[in-house]
Chains A and B, each alone.
Chain A
C-alpha cells in the first residue's frame, strides 16, 4: 500500500501563503522540528522527500523576496517532483504491468513447479520403491551369495577330499604298477618253470603212451595165446569127447559084462561048489583082472569127466579173456579220450600260462592264489571306496543340480535386475534431464527475479511487493535447489550401488563358471568310478576271489561220484564173486587132477606156481598180522600203563555214509565196566559222545569245564584219572 499525503503538503504551503510568515517582523523564532504531519510520508528508498524540510522555516529573510524565491524554487521543485511523479507513475504502471506479467509467469512457473514437484514426488516414490526393491534384491543376492559361498566352500572341501582320495588311488596305482613290474619278472620265471613242467609232463605222457602200447601189445599177445590155447583146448575137448564116448561105450560094455558076470556068478555058485576049491584062485584072479579093468575104465571115465569139466572151465576162461580183450579195447578207446583230454589240458595249461603272463605279482603257481587273494582284497577295498565315492558322488550330484538350478535362477534374476537397473538408470537419466531443465528454469526465474528487483530499485512503494514475491521465489528456489542436490546425491549413491551390484554379479558369474568346471570334472570322475564299479561287480558276479583270503571247497563224494562209486563197487563185487567161483573151480580141478592123471601140463604147473605164491603171500600176511598184532598190543598196553586208559578203536559209519573212527576209553581205575568214554575222531577233531557215564552230574560238569569251555580233552581225561585214582585208593 502506498501511502500518500500530498494534500497535507499543499495545505502547508497554503497555510504558509495565506498566513504571513511568523518571521515577517524579523523576530527570531525558535526552531521547531517539523512534525510528522508536515513531513513527506513516502517510504521510498532514497527518502528524498523526508529531507525536504521546509528550509524556509529556518532562514530569516525579507518577507517578500525570500518568500518569492522560495516559492519559485518551490514551484520548480514541485514541477520537477510532479514530473518525477508522472515518471514514477508511468514507471509504476510499467512495473505493475511487468508485475502482472511476472505474476502470470510466476503462476505459470508455480503450476509448472507444482507439476514438477508432483513428478519429483512421483519419481521420489518410484525411487523409494526402486530403492526398497533394490535393497530387497541386494539382501536376497547377499543371502544367496552367502549360501553359494557356503556351498562353494563345502564343495571345495569335498573336492579336496576327492583330490586326496584320487591321490591315494594314484599312489596305489603306482605301487600296483611297481608290483606289476616285479610280477612280470616273476611271471617269466613261472613261464620257464611251466615249460619245464610241460616238457616233463609231455615226456611222462610219452612214457605212458609207450607203456600203454606195450601193455596193449602184451594183452594182444596174451589174447592170441589164449585163443590158440582155446583152440587147442577145443580140439582136445573134442578128442576127449570122442574118448569119453568110447569110454562110455566101454563102460557100458563093462557094466553089461559085470552084470553078466554077476549073473554068471550067481548061477555059477553051485557049479563053483561042485567044481571044487581048485578053480577058486583062477576065478578070483579072473574076477580081480576084470575088476582091475573095470576100475581102470572107471578111472578113465572119471578122468574124461574131469577133462570135460576142465574144458568147460577153459571155455569160461576163454570167455573171460574175450571179456578182458573187450575191456582192453574199451580202455584203448578211453586212452584215446584221455589223449584228447590231455590235449585239452595242454591247451588249458597254455591258456593259464598266458593268464599268468598277464597277471602281475605272480612268480609260480603257488603265487596265483596269493595274488587272487590280494586282488580280492583290493577289489573289496576298492568296492568299499567305490561305494563311498558313489554316495559322495550322489550327494555332489544333488548339490550340483541344486547349484545349477540356483545358478540358472540367479542368472535369470541377474538379467531381470540388469533390465531393472537399466530401466532405473534410464529413469534416473530422465529425472536428471528433468532436474537440469527445472534447474535451468529456476536459474531463468532467478535471473528474471534479479532483473525485476533491479527494476524495482527505482520504485519506492510499488516495488516492495515485488521484493517480497522475489524473496519468496528465492526461498522456494533455494529449497528446490536443496532438494535437487539431495536427489543428485541419491542418484550418485544408487549409481554406486548399481556398480557394486554389477561387480558382485561379475564375481558370481566367475564363481559359477568355476563351479561348472568343477561339476564337469566331478561328472567325469563319476563316470570313471561307475565304470570301475561295473567292472568290479562283473568280476564279483563272475566269481573271482583272492586266494590269500578265500579258498574254494567242495564235497568229495558228490551225487554223481557216489553213484559211480556204487556202480564200480557193484561191478567189483560181481567180479570178485566170479573170481571166487573160478578159484573154487580151480581148486576142485587141482584136487581132481591130484587124484588122477592130468592131460595138459602147462595149466597145472602155473596153478601150482600160483598156489605157491599165494601160500607164500598168505604166510607173509599172517606174519605181518602177527607182528602188527604184537606191536599194537604192546602199544596199547603201553598207552594203558602210561595214560591209564584202555583204548579200543572202531571204524563206524554215520547215517549219511561218512565213515568215522570211534575210540572207546576205559580207565584202569574204573570201578565197573560201564565207566567208558566214547569219542568220535574225524579229520583231526575229536568229539566226546554222550552216554550213561558222561551224563552223570560229576562227569558232565567236568566235560562242560574241560572240553566245552577250555576245549582240552587231555585235561579232562587226566582229571578223571586222578579222581578215579583217588576214589580207588581211598576205598
Chain B
C-alpha cells in the first residue's frame, strides 16, 4: 500500500499502522503461551469475567462433571447466534474416582494444544466477517447432578440452524481429552 500525502479522509500506511498498534496496545498485551505468541486482553472487566468462569470450570473439571464448553458469538442487536465454538471434554473416570495417575509428557500435551491454537488462528481465513457489533457468552455442559452456583443459571443451548461445521484437532492429557467443533452461520 503506497503512502499518500496526509489529508483528512485518506489514511497513510504509517497512520494505519499507528491506529492498529494503538488499538492492540490499549486493548491487548502480547504474551507467549504454549510456545506461541498470543494477544491477551487488558480489559479488567473481561479479565475478571473470564477468571470467574475459568475458576468454576476448573472446579467442575476436577470433579469430572464437565462435558463440554461452548463459546457463543451473538449479534448484539438481534441476539442471533453467529458462531459457536464447541469444545467437548472426555474425562477418564478412573482418574476422578480412584485417583489413578496417567503419565503423559508436558511436551506432547503442549504440542497438541499448539496445533489447536494454530488451527483456531488460521480459521480466520474461512470464517465469515461480522459487520455488526457482537457479544460473546460461555456455556458449560455439565452433569445433571451438579449444584448450580449462585452466579450461574440454566440456559438453552443457543444452537445455530443449519450451520456449516468445521472439525478441529483434539488434545489429550490422559485424564481429560478435548475435541473441538466450530459451527458458524452462513447464508
Could you give 29 example pairs across A and B, Cβ below 8 Å? A373-B144, A537-B167, A540-B88, A540-B181, A543-B84, A543-B86, A545-B67, A547-B144, A549-B143, A549-B144, A550-B68, A550-B144, A551-B141, A552-B155, A553-B139, A553-B140, A553-B142, A553-B152, A554-B140, A555-B49, A559-B45, A559-B46, A559-B49, A559-B136, A562-B49, A563-B45, A656-B52, A658-B151, A682-B149
The B-contacting residues of A in range 521-569, CB under 8 angstroms, are 537-538, 540-545, 547-560, 562-563
Are A545 and B141 neighbours in the complex by a CB distance under 8 Å?
yes
Contacts of B67 on A, CB cut-off 8 Å? 545, 549-550
CB contacts under 8 Å to B, within A629-672, are 655-658
Is B159 interfacial (CB 8 A cutoff)?
yes
Do A551 and B144 touch (CB < 8 A)? yes
A195 to B160, CA, bound (A): 26
- B138 within 8 A of partner (CB): yes
Residues from chain B with Cβ under 8 Å of A544 in the complex: 157, 159
Q: How far is the CB of A568 from chain B (nearest CB, A)?
A: 16
**Cβ-neighbour of B153 out of A554, A559, A682, A685 (below 8 A):** A554
- Inside 8 A of B86's CB, which chain A residues have their CB? 541, 543
B148 touches A553 (CB 8 A): yes
Q: Interface digits, B153-187 against A, CB 8 Å rule (1 contact, 0 not)?
A: 11111111001010100000000000001010000
Do the beta carbons of B154 and A551 come within 8 Å of each other?
yes
Find out whether the CB atom of A541 lies under 8 angstroms from the CB atom of B183: yes
CB-CB nearest in chain B for A657 = B48
Most-contacted residue by chain B among A543, A547, A554, A656 (CB, 10 A) = A543
The answer to whether B159 touches A556, judged by C-beta atoms less than 8 angstroms apart, is no
Bound CA–CA A555/B76 (angstroms): 17
A147 to B57, CA, bound (A): 55
Residues of chain A within 8 A (CB-CB) of B135 are 558-560
Could you tell me if A543 and B70 are in contact, using CB atoms closer than 8 angstroms? yes
Question: How far apart sit A682 and B53, CA to CA, in the bound complex (Å)?
Answer: 16
Bound-state Cα–Cα, A237 to B90, Å: 77
Which residues of chain B from 49 to 104 have a CB within 8 Å of any chain A CB? Answer: 49, 51-53, 67-68, 70, 76, 84, 86, 88
Does A683 count as interface, using CB distance less than 8 angstroms? yes
Chain B residues whose C-beta falls within 8 Å of the C-beta of A553 in the assembled complex: 139-140, 142, 146, 148, 152-155
**Interface status of B147 (Cβ within 8 A of chain A):** yes
Report A's interface with B, CB cutoff 8 A. Answer: 373, 537-538, 540-545, 547-560, 562-563, 655-658, 682-685
Shortest beta-carbon distance from B5 to chain A in Å: 41
Please tell me if B130 contacts chain A, counting CB pairs below 8 Å: no
**Bound complex: CA A543 to CA B84 (Å):** 9
Residue B137 at the chain A interface, CB threshold 8 Å: yes
List, in ascending order, chain A residues with CB within 8 A of B49's CB. 555, 558-559, 562
Counting CB contacts under 8 A, is B23 at the interface?
Answer: no
Tell me whether B126 is interfacial, beta carbon within 8 Å: no
10 A-B pairs with least C-beta separation: A541-B181, A683-B150, A554-B155, A541-B165, A553-B152, A656-B48, A553-B140, A656-B52, A560-B135, A550-B141
Residues in A neighbouring B139, C-beta threshold 8 A = 552-554
Chain B residue contacts of A557, Cβ below 8 A: 151
CA–CA, A563 and B76, complex, Å: 13
Query: A554 is contacted by which of B51, B76, B138, B146 (Cβ under 8 Å)?
Result: B138
Determine the chain B residues whose CB is within 8 A of the CB of A538 once the complex forms: 165
By the criterion CB–CB under 8 Å, are B76 and A658 in contact? no
Query: CB-nearest residue of chain B relative to A682?
Result: B150
- Interface size of B by CB at 8 A reads 44
**Using Cβ atoms and an 8 Å threshold, which residues of chain A touch B51?**
656
Residue in A540, A542, A656 whose beta carbon sits within 8 Å of that of B163 in the complex: A542
Q: Are B146 and A556 in contact (CB under 8 A)?
A: no
7 further contact pairs, Cβ within 8 A, besides A550-B142, A559-B46: A542-B183, A543-B70, A554-B153, A559-B135, A658-B150, A682-B149, A685-B147
Nearest A-chain residue to B152, judged by Cβ: A553
Nearest-neighbor residue (CB-CB) of A372 within chain B: B157
Task: Evaluate contact between B52 and A558: CB separation under 8 angstroms.
Answer: no
CB distance from B151 to the nearest CB of A (A): 5
Residues of B close to A543: CB separation below 8 A: 70, 84, 86, 157-159, 183
Contacts of A549 in B (CB 8 A): 67, 143-144
CA distance A548 to B151 in the complex (A): 23
**Shortest Cβ gap from A98 to chain B (Å):** 104
| Cβ of B83 to closest chain A Cβ, rounded Å | 12
- Cα of A544 to Cα of B159 in the assembled complex, Å: 8
Residues of B within 8 A of A542 (CB): 159-160, 163, 165, 183
Residue pair A548, B144 in contact (C-beta under 8 Å)? yes
Contact, CB under 8 Å: B151 / A556: yes
Q: How far is the CA of A550 from the CA of B60 in the complex (A)?
A: 13
How far does the Cβ of B184 sit from chain A's closest Cβ, in whole Å? 11
Q: A545-B141, A554-B140 are contacts. A683–B181 as well, Cβ < 8 Å?
A: no
Contact of A554 with B152 in the complex, beta carbons under 8 Å = yes
Q: Are B152 and A556 in contact (CB under 8 A)?
A: yes
Kindly provide the distance from the CB of B105 to the nearest chain A CB, expressed in whole angstroms. 26
Choice from B45, B84, B147, B156 contacting A552 with Cβ under 8 Å? B156
B125 to chain A, nearest CB (A): 20
Q: Select from chain A the residue with minimum beta-carbon distance to B46.
A: A559
* Inter-subunit contact B146/A551 (CB<8 Å): yes
A560, B152: Cβ atoms closer than 8 Å? no
Pair B48/A552 contact, Cβ less than 8 Å: no
Q: Tell me which of A548, A553, A655, A656 has the highest count of chain B C-beta atoms within 10 A of its own C-beta.
A: A553
Known pairs A543-B183, A553-B140, A554-B137; A683 contacts B148 (CB<8 A): yes
Complex formed: what's the CA distance from A684 to B147 in Å?
A: 9
What residues of B have a CB within 8 angstroms of the CB of A552 in the complex? Answer: 139-141, 154-157
When C-beta atoms are compared, the residue in chain B nearest to A546 turns out to be: B144
Known A-B contacts A540-B88, A658-B52; A555 and B165 likewise in contact (beta carbons under 8 Å): no
Indicate if the CB atoms of A541 and B167 lie closer than 8 Å.
Answer: yes
CB-CB under 8 A from A545, the residues of chain B are: 67-68, 141, 157
Write the nearest CB–CB distance from A267 to chain B, whole angstroms: 78
Q: How far is the CA of A329 from the CA of B167 in the complex (A)?
A: 49
Chain B residues, Cβ within 8 Å of A551: 141-144, 146, 154
Closest B residue by C-beta to A351: B161
Q: In the complex, A555 Cα to B69 Cα: how many Å?
A: 13
In the assembled complex, the CB of B4 is this many whole angstroms from the nearest CB of chain A, namely 38
* A384, chain B: closest CB distance, angstroms: 12
**CA gap between A656 and B68 in the complex, in Å:** 24
Question: Which residue in A562, A658, A684, A685 is a CB contact (below 8 Å) of B45?
Answer: A562
Give the complex CA separation of A682 and B136 in angstroms: 26
Distance (Å) between the CB of A28 and the closest chain B CB? 141
Residues of B within 8 A of A548 (CB): 144
Tell me, in angstroms, the Cα distance from A658 to B138 when the chains sit together.
Answer: 18
Complex alpha-carbon distance, A683 and B86, angstroms: 28
Query: CA A96 – CA B45 in complex, angstroms?
Result: 138
Closest to B74 in A: A560
